[in-house]
Structure 1
């Protein structure tokens, strides 16, 4: 009788009712602006002072079909971020670019065709699907920053004894909260600085940056795209859902929890801020941590939003047979088509 389950359920519904009542008193434009302000506030956008990019080229390796650069650049709070930049061979003039954001695993190498030690992965790709490599082979300049908390950006304690594939999310998020900073907010702002860097490159066409995120990387991609209109097209894989159906239903990493979000929005409403810009949703039907039933709830909401914006054709989705994994069979060609239109100015 003393367990908190019923109270927590009532709390969710009371906040839901408050949101609905507030929206009932607003125009669609007012609701959209309030949601953007709420999201920016939760993420502390603009509160962290930006550092100079000061990019440094660390290595440059030529492969048969692309060039792989390893760089580092500045973001906020003094952080320096390592990243891979994959450049297609044979392209003349500036190309469309994609910011590729990895999920939980061993970091930027995992989606770039590399093993944790940086050597080439000659075996079958894992659940991440090597999507940065797939994208550069489709003609994009692809930037793969190391998300803080993974790979080379883990805390020293989490790298001891040769540990591979673990993260520093829990410790980083807990410590950052003491400063009033959310881990999600830091990651989104670093993604925005990555976009700043991409647009500074001569081989990247102006106004032609897309974003592809998987799982935790899709969280970053969704919030970055919602607030930063420089992102012209977005692919969210194995993340779109509802807070109620996934983030609150399954035990997730702490980086999924956004301070104060339910006071102003459910997750589909935040993703809806991307409209009317092109958005593609991809998710496995057997994904146990992002259940398909509430993926479909999110898709229905987004379909309504895009229809109301007169941009129904800009929303695509693919629900595939698979678990928590990348399947780009429809997402890759969709992104190529959309970004080619963007590049041509149509």
Structure 2
């Protein structure tokens, strides 16, 4: 016996919300014509975003770095585990992969940020000895921190908030699904009523890593990069947009218009959503704040997160960014790398593009 009834038609909210987006979105997009116009807009845009992210509510404190572990891996790579205090009594564990140095010059370093369903830093740092992590690496090619270290870069691989060892109470257990997953949903429920956001907390934590790089003083501050795939791409986007100490950036699997990919596809992780953001900016506007620093954007042709219009939705946002690079005559510093297949990181750009970026930063 049926216990429900068939409902037809339904009267959902999506159509009305899409119309609201068209009426209200992108009110503070760049409208100037010169680099001076852009620099003025950049200051104002960052001020707006700082408020929206809740960065004004983050609390400064000493980093109090603690070395918890030091281990030599294959190929002469040393893996340190360091614990940093990012806010009072709020701690961030970090794997740091340090290749053997053969030069008197300070090594170049990248912050390598984790995406979802990879157990945070464990996948990024290439911890294949953990079976669930090995499977995540095979699925998404998630070990880009280790890939960087094998290329000679120091790779700083943190657990962002809600990931790995920083999971909140709801997922603090050893089940595989909990180990791989994150507590972004719970974090958003805690943060947003206090005027904070998950994206803002993650952005602030990357800024604390930049503080740590400066404080430690061992690596070249003029070439510091930030890289991430999927949710790691989101963090890279925000951090590079908000902090010029990031001298080069690689955003993979996270560049598309908000209307198609986060409004129409409205079941995405809570970390993507910043209250009032869409009234002010689209994703390309935020990425424009990275200009004219070297920026690689990687997209996959069949990535479902591109939305129903596919790469057209992506290209529209890249074109917004490209216009700013053109103002500076630095179009070569923005590279859009398009790969075949679905939602996945591709390592080829590291070998092809990073040496080019390194030469740009020497000029």
Shift of 1:122: 10
Structure 1 CA distance for aligned equivalents of residues 69 and 97 of structure 2: 12
Report the more deviating stretch, 66-75 or 157-166. 157-166
SS in 1 for 2:145: helix
Report the more deviating stretch, 229-238 or 40-49. 40-49
Shift of 1:304: 1.6
Q: Deviations over 1:47-83 (max 9, x none)?
A: 3111211111111111232111111111124211100
Shift of 1:44: 2.2
Unmatched 5+ stretches in structure 1:
none
Query: Which residue of structure 2 aligns with residue 4 of structure 1?
Result: 13
Shift of 1:186: 0.5
Residue 188 of structure 2, aligned match among 165, 168, 173: 173
Note the 1:254-265 alignment, pairs <5 A.
254-265=270-281
Structure 1 CA distance for aligned equivalents of residues 174 and 244 of structure 2: 43
Q: Deviations over 1:241-288 (max 9, x none)?
A: 111121212121010011221222111001111001110000111100
| Cα distance, 1:59–1:238 mapped onto 2, change above 3 Å | same
Query: Which residue of structure 2 aligns with residue 252 of structure 1?
Result: 268
2:25 corresponds to 1:16? yes
How many corresponding residue pairs? Answer: 343
Query: Which residue of structure 2 aligns with residue 49 of structure 1?
Result: 59
Structure 2 CA distance for aligned equivalents of residues 35 and 191 of structure 1: 19
Note the 1:260-339 alignment, pairs <5 A.
260-290=276-306, 291-339=310-358
Note the 1:169-248 alignment, pairs <5 A.
169-248=184-263
Shift of 1:124: 6.7
Query: Which residue of structure 1 aligns with residue 158 of structure 2?
Result: 145
SS in 2 for 1:207: helix
Structure 2 CA distance for aligned equivalents of residues 260 and 123 of structure 1: 34
**Which structure carries more helix by proportion?**
2
2:101 corresponds to 1:85? no
Structure 2 CA distance for aligned equivalents of residues 76 and 192 of structure 1: 12
Structure 1 CA distance for aligned equivalents of residues 188 and 133 of structure 2: 32
Query: Which residue of structure 2 aligns with residue 103 of structure 1?
Result: 115
Q: Could you tell me the TM-score, scaled by structure 2's length?
A: 0.87
Shift of 1:341: 4.2
